[in-house]
Copies of this chain bind each other. A is one copy, B any other.
Amino acid sequence: MAYTEVDQLAINTIRVLAVDATSKANSGHPGAPMGLAPTAHVLFNKFMNFNPKSPRWANRDRFVLSNGHGCMLQYALLHLFGYAVSLDDLKAFRQIGSITPGHPEAHETPGIEVTTGPLGQGFANAVGLAIAQAHSAGVFNKPGYELFNNYTYTIFGDGCAMEGVASEAASTAGHLKLGNLIALYDDNHISIDGDTKVAFTEDVLKRFEAYGWHTLEVKDGDHDLQGIEEAIRKAQQVKDKPTVIKITTTIGFGSKLQGTGGVHGNPLKADDAESVKKAFGFDPSQSFVVPQQVYDLYGKHAAEGAAKEQEWNNLLQKYGGEYKAEHADLTRRLAGKLPEGWEKSLPTYKPTDAAVASRKLSEAVLEKIHSVIPELLSGSADLTGSNNTRWKNAVDFQPPEYGIGDWSGRYLRYGVREHSMGAIFNGLAAYGTVIPAGGTFLNFVSYAAGAVRLSALSQVRAIWVATHDSIGLGEDGPTHQPIETLAHFRALPNLMVWRPADGNETSAAYYSALTSTHTPSILALTRQNLPQLQNSSIEVALKGGYVAVDAPNAAVAIVSTGSEVSIAIDAAQYLKEKHNVAARVVSIPCFEVFDAQSKEYRLSVLPDGIPILSVEAASTLGWERYSHEQFGINRFGASGPYKQVYEKFEITPEGISKRALATIDFYRGVKPRSPINRAFQQLI
């Protein structure tokens, strides 16, 4: 279809809005929106199916701006197409409380699918969105009912192309032959350090070919709208490979500084902004002006999108007549609800049950719940046999032609790519029909810190099955034994770190992770066996902390988590027998959940008047929050059989007892206030 002056006007309107918003904020990145406006115009107006009035429509095309600093591009488009993003919102760009923050945040702005800005993440999120689409199609599509056939589009820049997380995700996408994934590479040769030739001279398309992608090129992304359109059309036609289109653009197109780093991260100077407006036929004395023709053009496309949603809704209704169970399953998932009564499948344990490693307890949970929660996708970063993340009859998510799985498969082979696994989780969760879970060693969740952070910030339900969670992994040694990891993730807002001590606590961790629809979880699990505790139950564990062993007139309380709780209980026994000292033992499997309980409850667990000692086989940092004295490991671990490693660090009944006695001595004559009592409340 021929392009007219109105198309050009729309493109220039986007550019000028980006100039205006960054100028008004005196902050932000005009260059990428100005360079990408032609690409985005063609993509949004010629290809993308969406209904701005119904931004959560299940089969909408997904768009991810991986170079999130260019978000004025996206905010402008959202406004122009009629999403609930007003001109006033654009005027409030990068201001406190606005829905147009400095980088796109999915939970803040209608039409933003995922939170981007930290480079490389969005690209990997797009891979997750495309996996979710292919999986949903595999599960729900039926002859005559192509319910899920949306495309996932992502724009990414040189910065994203350099980040390892994107490389990992690209390799995964190529392997998985995600035909509905189309990535538009903004090849503008500029990053913050100037010309990319200083650090980035690889052949990006060849690299993507090596990953198994279909590759295309548009040489003049500033003017060749037809070329952009043709490339996207060709990309849509290749169904057995993801496509990357390298589109060469001029950053800051129209600015006096176009094509330089000067236009990347700073507003245009006043005279430059004026000259841009003049060149594009806008009145330089006015700001935030949108010609009516642009609203009309985009409004027409939006209306077409609304009609497509209506068609789809009709199709879905018809589907409901023919495929009742699938329809019920799908509508339930889209409503964000778990199946009624699913939690009855969670295993429970008696104290007389055998000692089991919590990674195995986690496997037992997955074995029980996978059939009642069909939206749960499991997987591992190449540690399946160690993470115990795969239920017995699991089917791999794989292109059927490999003969090792199919699109409806629920087990993902992420490869040794923890960071992209975490970022793919975020894309999967954002799609709306699945719940991602996946395994690695706790120590290597750190490789994915960037993605975990965005799970938390964007309020995504993602579940890390993080096994081998301490020195208890033994012989692999300090390179694999986490020390700082629990503190790191406990300090991250809106993330639950669960470290269950036994079977009931493990079931509680899964209950909490699955029902917390806006919070990711890390389940820290052991390699070694753990006994079933006397007082544990799913119910008490769901309070995040509880009295595991009580003792009348306790002289000390020992608070602990996970594998150290049973050692603390043995220490209490030892104190009683050898020193006639009564000790209470408290299990706090999840700080975040415990903190959310009433003060009264928390004080009943950690009361005033007795000294409290914490014990955990990890950094003591942060344990002061629940204890007066801390015992842990503030150095790196050691390679050896795990019991010997515990002995080396004195995390044994004797070693704990020694510190408990020192604690009692230190507080003799003092009735210490519980650390639950605070002078003031934190802001939340």
Contacts and interface: CB of A to CB of B under 8 A. Distances in A.
B193 A413 contact: yes
A201 B212 CA distance: 8
B457 A453 contact: no
Contacts of A116: 479
Nearest to A595: B634
A210 B204 contact: yes
A639 B416 contact: no
A417 B162 contact: yes
A491 interface: yes
B650 A679 contact: no
A472 interface: no
Contacts of A201: 174-175, 212
Contacts of A607: none
Nearest to A213: B202
Interface in A614-651: 619-622, 624-625, 628-636, 638-641, 644-645, 648-650
Which one of A384, A491, A640, A644 has the highest number of Cβ atoms from chain B below 10 Å of its Cβ? A491
A641 B172 CA distance: 39
A484 interface: yes
Interface in A367-413: 380, 382-386, 396, 398, 402, 404, 413
Nearest to A403: B197
A404 B200 CA distance: 13
A142 interface: no
Interface in A147-176: 158-160, 162-168, 171-172, 174-175
Given A192-B382, A457-B479, A493-B636, 4 more contacts: A164-B166, A446-B450, A662-B680, A667-B679
Nearest 3 pairs of A and B residues by beta carbon: A164-B164, A624-B624, A666-B679
Interface of A: 25, 27-28, 68-69, 94-98, 101-103, 105, 115-120, 158-160, 162-168, 171-172, 174-175, 191-193, 197-204, 206-207, 209-212, 261, 380, 382-386, 396, 398, 402, 404, 413-417, 419-420, 443-444, 446-447, 449-450, 453-454, 456-457, 474-480, 483-484, 487-494, 611, 613, 619-622, 624-625, 628-636, 638-641, 644-645, 648-650, 658-659, 662-663, 665-667, 670, 673, 675, 677-680, 682-684
